């Protein structure tokens, strides 16, 4: 029964990673940049939700909505101010700018909310479900997290597959110049991608802090790195890959902590990633691009 319990917890934390990884992978697919500030957008989302529910006393749903709106706007502003002027510059320059943005968000949050951790009240109010005479406990957070990630996954697949904007996104990620020649507004498409990625980050932030209730300015960075790893694990640029990578990473992490070693869980998780990349250099579901001479 212990195994099942760990599996469920692993899927739950993995779902959060998956939602964050979706943001990384979409931005990477379209703008070909590693957006290291993504983890900090998560933190901003969590703080927003915290403020709305704790200081204004509004219901959790409002908190999530406000967090999503703020993060969406934040994502578009960051993209417009910091990344857009660097389009066409070396990818390393954009990477460093993203790191600058990450520092900025962390320190701004520290200035506004202080560095002392805040106790995040969970958005889930119903009691945990107990199965098999209490041997297996499924908390409300776990259910909500898994449900949310499934809904997001389906919605994103439909969006990129069926809508005009989604098709434009795929076109831009495949070949930016050709997409532009076909009359697609590339800049607008990239902004839209950042908006969606940041809105997802807000949801991930709320879900993450509902499961692990300490909220501080650095809350987003470690899950951010984990999720980034998950995105690479699944094949960066691929939406189902990010989902799979996130959930697998969550399961591996929980299982390692449960059965192998809590001390070395980080090392083992990253070791698995390295082994996977050595066997499949483009990730689990990534496309292998042939190099042309």
Partner 1 sequence: MNKIKQYFKTHSYNIATYGIVIIAYVVMQYLSNADMLSRSVNGYLVPICAYIVLAVSLNLVVGISGELSLGHAGFMGVGAFAGIVTAACLQGVVDSDFGRLMAALLVGGVVAGIAGVIVGVPVLRLRGDYLAIVTLAFGEILKNIIGNLYIGKDETGIRVALSQAELHLGAGGKVILSGALGATGVQKLSTFFAGFLLILFTLFVVLNLINSKEGRAIKAVRDNRIAAESVGINVTAFRMKAFVVSAFLAGMAGALYGLNYSAVSASKFGFNTSIDILVFVVLGGMGNILGSVISATVLYVLPEAMRGLADYRMILYAVVLILVMLFTWSPKVKEIMSVVTAKLGGIFKKKEVGTNE
Largest pairwise CA distance in the chain: 64
Binding mask 33-62 for partner 1 (x = CB under 8 A): -x-x--------------------------
For residue 151, the tally of other CB atoms under 10 A from its CB is: 11
Report how far residue 276's alpha carbon sits from residue 285's, in angstroms, rounded to the nearest whole number: 11
**Residue span 119-138 as binding mask against partner 1, x where in contact by CB under 8 A, dash where not:** --------------------
Return the residue matching tokens 């640029």: 237
Q: How far is the CB of 209 from partner 1 (least distance, A)?
A: 21
From residue 171 to residue 210, the character string flagging contacts with partner 1 as x (rule: CB under 8 A) and all else as - is ----------------------------------------
**88 contributes a contact to partner 1 by CB under 8 A:** yes
76 contacts partner 1 (rule: CB under 8 A) = no
Q: Does 101 bind partner 1 (CB under 8 A)?
A: yes
- In this chain, which of 225, 240, 255, 258 binds partner 1, going by CB under 8 A? 225
Binding residue for partner 1, selected from 59, 69, 107, 287, defined by CB under 8 A: 107
Pairing of strands 136-138, 214-215: unpaired
Which tokens is 127 given? 């009691």
Q: How far is the CB of 36 from partner 1 (least distance, A)?
A: 8
Q: Which is nearer to partner 1, 59 or 100 (CB)?
A: 100
Q: Could you tell me if 206 and 123 are in contact, meaning their C-beta atoms sit under 8 angstroms apart? A: yes
| Residue among 86, 138, 186, 212 that touches partner 1 (CB under 8 A) | 86
Cα 1 from Cα 144, distance rounded (Å): 22
Q: Which of 57, 134, 183, 281 binds partner 1 (CB under 8 A)?
A: 281
87 binds partner 1 (CB under 8 A): yes
Tokens 């749903």 -> residue: 61
Q: Which is nearer to partner 1, 94 or 203 (CB)?
A: 94
Q: Which of 70, 203, 232, 244 is the binder for partner 1 (CB under 8 A)?
A: 232
SS3 189: helix
Residue 256, token pair as written in the block: 């390692």
Backbone angles phi, psi at 33, to 5 degrees: -135, 150
- Of 127, 177, 181, 274, the residue at the interface with partner 1 (CB under 8 A) is 274
Total chain residues near partner 1 (CB under 8 A): 46
Residue 57 per-residue DSSP state: -
Interior/surface letters 189-209, b for 16+ CB within 10 angstroms, e for the rest: bbbbbbbbbbbbbbbbbbbbb
Judge whether 218 and 107 are in contact, CB under 8 Å: no
Helix (H, G, I), strand (E, B) or coil at 291: coil
| CB nearer to partner 1: pick between 62 and 255 | 255
Report which of 35, 147, 43 is spatially closest to residue 98, judged by C-alpha positions: 35
Site residues, partner 1 (CB under 8 A): 28, 34, 36, 82, 85-90, 92-93, 95-97, 99-101, 103-104, 106-108, 110-111, 221, 225, 228-229, 232, 236, 263-264, 266-267, 270-271, 273-274, 277-278, 281-283, 291, 293
């Amino acid at each position: 029964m212990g195994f099942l319990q760990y599996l469920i917890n692993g899927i739950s934390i993995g779902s959060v990673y998956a939602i964050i990884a979706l943001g990384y992978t979409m931005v990477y697919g379209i703008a070909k940049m590693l957006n290291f500030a993504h983890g900090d957008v998560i933190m901003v989302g969590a703080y927003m939700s915290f403020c709305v529910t704790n200081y204004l006393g509004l219901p959790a749903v409002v908190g999530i909505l406000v967090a999503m709106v703020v993060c969406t706007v934040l994502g578009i502003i960051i993209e417009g101010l910091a990344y857009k002027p660097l389009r066409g510059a070396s990818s390393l320059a954009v990477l460093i700018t993203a790191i600058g943005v990450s520092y900025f968000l962390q320190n701004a949050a520290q200035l506004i909310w202080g560095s002392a951790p805040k106790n995040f009240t969970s958005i889930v109010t119903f009691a945990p479900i107990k199965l098999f005479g209490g041997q297996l406990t499924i908390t409300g957070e776990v259910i909500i997290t898994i449900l949310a990630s499934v809904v997001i996954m389906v919605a994103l697949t439909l969006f990129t597959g069926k809508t005009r904007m989604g098709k434009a996104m795929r076109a831009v990620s495949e070949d930016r110049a050709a997409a532009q020649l076909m009359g697609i507004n590339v800049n607008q498409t990239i902004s839209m991608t950042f908006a969606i990625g940041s809105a997802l980050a807000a949801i991930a932030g709320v879900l993450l802090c509902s499961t692990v209730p300490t909220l501080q300015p650095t809350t987003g960075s470690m899950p951010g790195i984990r999720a980034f790893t998950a995105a690479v694990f699944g094949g960066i640029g691929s939406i189902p890959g990010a989902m799979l990578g996130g959930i697998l990473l969550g399961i591996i992490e929980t299982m390692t902590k449960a059965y192998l070693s809590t001390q070395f869980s980080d090392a083992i998780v990253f070791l698995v990633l390295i082994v996977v990349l050595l066997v499949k250099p483009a990730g689990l579901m990534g496309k292998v691009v042939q190099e042309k001479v």
